[in-house]
Amino acid sequence: MTTPHDQTTKRVLITGASSGIGAATATVLADRGWQVVAVARRKDKLDALADHPQIDSYACDITVDDDVSALASWVEQGGGIDVLINNAGGAVGMESVEDGSIDDWRWMYEVNVLATKRMISTFLPMLRRAADRSGGADIVTVTSTAGFTPYEGGGGYNAAKYAAHAMMQVLRLELSGEPIRVIDIAPGMVKTDEFALKRFRGDASRSESVYADVDRPLLAEDVALTIASALELPPHVNLDLVTVKPVAQSAQHKTHRGPLRTKPTVN
Q: What are phi and psi of 253, to 5 degrees?
A: -100, 5
Q: How far is residue 222's CA from residue 111's CA, in Å, rounded to a whole number?
A: 23
Is residue 157 part of the annotated active site? The answer reads yes
Q: How far is residue 62's CA from residue 174's CA, in Å, rounded to a whole number?
A: 23
Strand ranges in the chain using DSSP code E only, listed in sequence order: 11-15, 35-40, 55-59, 83-86, 137-142, 180-187, 190-191, 218-219, 241-244, 249-251, 254-255
Terminal Cα distance for the chain, rounded: 47
Torsion of CA 73, 140, 182, 35, to 10 degrees: 60
Q: At what angle do helices 102-109 and 155-174 cross, to 10 degrees?
A: 20
Q: Cβ atoms within 10 A of the Cβ of 36, count?
A: 28
Given 151, 157, 162, 211, the catalytic residue: 157
Give the residue numbers marked as catalytic: 157
